[in-house]
Amino acid sequence: MKNNEGILLVLSGPSGAGKGTICKRLQKEIPIEYSVSATTRAPRVGEVHGKDYFFLNKETFEKKIRENEFLEWARVYDNYYGTPIDYVQGVLAQGKDCILEIDPQGAKQVKKKKPDAVYVFILPPSMQEQERRLTQRGTEKMYEIEKRISSAQEEISALEYYDYVVVNDEVSKAVEKVKAIIIAEKCKVQRHHCYL
């Protein structure tokens, strides 16, 4: 990592943990760029291409995989998701911080390429609360919710790959904890090696 480069914040956790809500709040409260991911899933109501996701067809996505154009990519719940390398590198090179909201298997791939990124795992306060949040969201069918809940334990087992864990029992408190993590990371001696 170059001294003037921004911090890459990798935020993960099971569906219903509140990752998206935390990301949106962080963007409103601090100067941080949201990394727009690419996906083959259909857009949800209100989602905008290039802002929420780059919505690609399967053939285009697979071509980009072959051409190594993703920092990470994965097939999750029958769809592809990936992070365009050029997008993230461009943000960091400008000295801006960048937040990457991805699943744990994607975070493992990023860690191999970006070990100096900051890895934060968001947990719901309980499995019951996770199910309530997914149901209340109203964007998935019941069988999809059950599929996501059953995979949550596997996702939680990935905690060892993360630097920090934040339990999202109240959004404002979770956001403050993530902001404190960013501040602490910016103060690390290793990030100021030009003075040593």
- List the domains of the chain with CATH numbers: 8-195 (3.40.50.300)
pLDDT at 159: 87
- Higher pLDDT among residues 132 and 99, named by residue: 99
66 pLDDT band (50/70/90 cuts)? very high
Lowest-confidence range among 25-34, 55-64, 87-96, 102-111?
A: 102-111
Cross-strand partners of 53 = 37, 49
User: pLDDT tens, 85-96?
Assistant: 989 999 999 999
- Higher pLDDT among residues 124 and 98, named by residue: 98
pTM: 0.79
Residue 189 carries which DSSP code? G
d(CA 150, CA 128): 12
Biggest alpha carbon–alpha carbon distance for the chain: 56
